[in-house]
Every structure is written in structure tokens, then in C-alpha cells.
Structure 1
Amino acid sequence: MTVGARDGAPRQRRDARRNRELLLEAAHEVFTEQGLDAPLDVIARRAGVGNATLYRHFPTRAALVDAVFRDSLTGTMDAGEQARRAPDAWAGLTAYLEVVFRTLAADRGSNDLMTTHLRGVESLEAVHEHNRRTVDALLSRLRDEGTVRADVTTEDVLFGLAALGRAVPALTAATATPGGRVTLGATAAPGARATLDARATPGATTSPDATASPDARATLATAASPDTTTSPDTTTSPDAAATGTAPPGTTTSPDATATAPDAWRRPLALFLAGLRTAPAAGPLPAPALTAAELGEVLRELGPHRTRAGDREPGA
């Protein structure tokens, strides 16, 4: 074997590793923008490689999806473990859903993964099963305490959460800016992507305490506080308005606005209140949608929605 032949093999391996990294980076960007049904040739072009190279590294779409999202999905499971150990089952459930819905709002790829079923993604199968066991364990405790309705099943809750979660990207996009849409990958709250996506922070894990501030968790758990009071003369502080939450004893001003990634708090609070035997009458988090925002949400939910890469300049 010649010296040139010996030198060529390591270079080919370096090139292969580099191509794989480029493909994973491009796939994460495209899936974030367009969802898991994004054309694979778009990913190959963005990575600067040919389709043959993509399929050599990832023979199926499921293999590519698994490689891109495996670490971030594992973070959701870590959050579930913490929720199960919470002394207060309702607080554990709401903290866990805080993590889940922040993940759903972060990008379309994560949302597709957690609200639909994609065959062949091994890590996804494990996450779905872990999520079911987490919700089931917490509901069992809550039924025993008499906190939630006795006839509420795990499947009831999982179906409701999936249906609501499926609408989160459209809700986020419709409320991100007044009268305009933005790419979902750019709308996550500061630090949310780094926390929820372990690929952004090697070795990072997701936990309810890492992603949900005390005020945010209190907002999701509004139904757990029957003694919540409101004052028409009290308005939300700037920091609270930024997250759509209010400190204890205050109410949200009609002029307050929630940041786009938190727009899901209001419908989630309504859903959770319906599970309880005695829902609280405290204020709902985040402002209600306007008629125009609702129309935009419904348009975004349609099969004709415009992909981020296809929008006209200024749209």
C-alpha cells in the first residue's frame, strides 16, 4: 500500500464525520422551521451535500429524526422523573407540563415528535411510554386525594394534551408579533432552547425546576389555589407581564401581553381546570386571543400553511 493510500483513509473518515455533523445541524434547522415532514433534499442542500450522502448516513427519515432529537427527548424524561417524586402531585403535574409545553413551543420538529406517532424512532417510543406512565402515576395520586374527577382517565388527559399541544406552533406564530408571523425557531424565550435542547448545551438535562420559574409554575397551577384574589386596581409588574404571569395577590392588566412562547398558558390552564373536582376562580394566565389572532391561528393550522422558507420577503 502506498503512503498516499494510507493517508486517504483517515481523510475520508474525517470527511464522513464532517458530513454527518453538517447533516445533523441542517436537519435540526429545517425540522425546527418546517416540521418533520420537511423534504429531505432541502436538508441535503442546506448541509451542502448530495442526497446520496444523506442516505448513506441516514437510510430513513426515522433514523435522521432519532439522531437529531434523541438528547432533547431524553431531557423530557428527566423532567417526568422529577415530577413523579414531587411531594405535591398537582404541583408535579403542572411543573412537568411546563417543561413539555415549552418544548412544544420551541420548534415544529419537537412538536411533531411529541404530538404524533412516527414509526421507527426508538427514542420517541421510549418518551411516549415514559410520558404515559408519568401522567398515569400523577393522576392516580390526584384521584386518591380527590383533587381531580374520579372518572378522568390517563387517555383522556393524553388526548387532550396532544390536541392542545398540536396547536401550540400555530398559537405561537400567530401571537409572536402584532399582525405578523415569525419563524418558530426564533421565538423561544431566552435560554429556553439551551435548556430544552441538549444538542445546544452538551450534557444538559431538562427539569421542571430548570425551566419553570416559581411564578410560571404558580400560574399553571392556578386551579390549585382557590383562595386566589384579584384587585381591579392592581396591575402586573413588567417582569410578570413578560411571562404572562402575576405575583400572588395581583391580577393581569387588560393591557398586558404575553410573550409568544407563553401564549399556550391560557388554554392549558383552562384544560387543567376542567380536570379538577373544584376548579379555582382565579385569573387566567396570558391575555385572550383577539379575533384576528384566532383567525391567524386557524390559518396556520390548515394544510395550506406557508413554510418558513417559502414566505415572501417581509411576510
Structure 2
Amino acid sequence: MKKLIFALLLIFCYLSVSAQQGPVAPCVDCESLSKRTEPHNGMWYNPDQSGSGMTLDIQDGKLFGVVFGYDDDGKSRWWTFVNDLSPSDEPNIMWTLNADLMQFENGNSFNNDYVFPTQTDYEGQISLKFTQKNHALYSINGGEEQNIVPIIFGVTKSRDFPEQTSFQFPELKGVWTLLYTLNPEIGNPIYAPYQPFNNFSETIVIGNKIIADANQDGINETHYPVYYFYPLIYPEYLLWGDITCQLISDDEIVSPGCEFRKDYGLFGNDPSNKPLFKMKLGGLGAYRLFGEDQDGHTFEAIKISSDTGIFFNN
């Protein structure tokens, strides 16, 4: 059986000279976070081994994937797989998936009459573990696990905390829709007292990333300001909260962590009126965000547009 070598096909591809396991997404004090979210749909890869990888699409709990890689002769190959996502009881793992890899051949080339392809012999098995919305581990045929993340190519990204992780933080500037899911076992929070359902949404604008604390040793804290528009109260967008990423420590472990704090500006200075959502690093994606508060309420954000000029310039 041919050995499969994988990571993601890039337009500007470079080959890593040594085996690298990809970016880890450490999470300090995340034991209390229990809510699951479906992984990001799109192209995933190991940035340390760019040149191959996979496309993942999740629909109603079922995942279909296409893996792009090479055979022992260096020829490009692709394999498909499909299976249900299984909830995991393993610490810091949301979902797992094990599936057979399938390969097809003898189809028609471009611009020729269609020929139904045939499936080749069984090629092996892929194992996936999704730790966060934008972070996973995978292995082929029981080989070494690698960390993979969604490819970011349309917005700026940077390794803001390189001493702790090679995870790349994307620029979030743009218009976003937030979907909140309330924990029915807790009841409605004070910031959503009249919601008849367990879900509600709102639209926000996230501004440019601000380096809030940096020295010769690197960055210690970054902020993404969050704005909201109250058309009947304010004539323009109001600074309404922020997403903060900073170094935190726990039992001598220092690692970056992120949180999303909402401050409506309407309820005074009572901290209980200012919900705080903890975000794993893998909850911070270029087009998808996810976080959970201490009561099990969650938010998921979907980027609508990178253009904020129609709202304000910042």
C-alpha cells in the first residue's frame, strides 16, 4: 500500500525541509468550556507542510472531505471520505471522525464526453479530532498526528504570540452577524431578558486590531474593538465591546487566551450586565468566531463583509 503524504495545495507553495506537526492551539483554563460547535467549512492545511491538505464540508452533522496529497512517486493524488461527526468525551476534543479513504480513476478529461469514474482499491483510513472550530488534528493509517487549521489567504494574519504558539491570528475588521444560543437550563441572561426562543442575532462591526501591550520580548495583548449601531439613540456607531487576546498563566503555563466582552452602555457599571465569552484560540477564525460564557450561553459570529467604509472609516 502506498504511503500517503498530506498537507494543502497553495498557489504560492513552499516545501518544509523537516517534518513539522503544525500550529498548536493551547487553551489555559478551558476545562469549564463544554459546548460544541461545528467545524469551519472550507480548506484546511498544516502551514508547516504546505503543498497539500484537505477540503472539509459539514452538513447536518455529516462530514465530507477531499484530501489532496502525493504518492511515493511524488505524483499528485486526491482521496475522498465521508462519515458522521461523533461527539467526544476526550478532554479538549469536540468531535472525532474515522473514515475510509476512497480514490477514483478512469474518468473523462476536461472538455471530453463524460465517463463515470471507477473506485480503486481501499487506500487506507483517516482519523480527525476537532479540538476547536478552527483547529483539528489528523492522522493517516495510524501515523503521526498533525495540527491543521483553515487556510487564510484573503485577509492579513500574523503570529502575535510566537513564543507560545505558531497559531496565526487573522485580521477581523468587517461586518459580522452574531448568533447567540442561550442555555435553557440557566434561563435568559439580563442582556437578553425578552427572548422567547433560545437563539437571537445582531449585527456588529469589528475594527482594526490594536496592539495594546508590546515590548522587546513581543506582544502581550491585542484588542479588536467592537461597534454597534443604535439608530434610535445614537447618530453613529458606538464602541460596544471588544475582543481581547492576551497572555495568561495557569500553574506556571503561559499561553495566549481570548475573550469577547459586550458592554451595551445601557446598564451601568455592574459587571453582571456585561457578558464575557471565553474564546479558545481556535474559536478565532478569519470568517467564523465562537465563544462560551460561564453559564453555557454561546455566540457564533459569521463575517458578512470586510468592507466597513459604508458604515465608518477606522
TM-score by length of structure 1 reads 0.24
Structure with larger RCO (C-alpha < 8 A, sep 6+): 1
User: Could you say which structure has the higher helix fraction?
Assistant: 1
User: Could you say which structure has the higher strand fraction?
Assistant: 2
TM-score by length of structure 2 reads 0.24
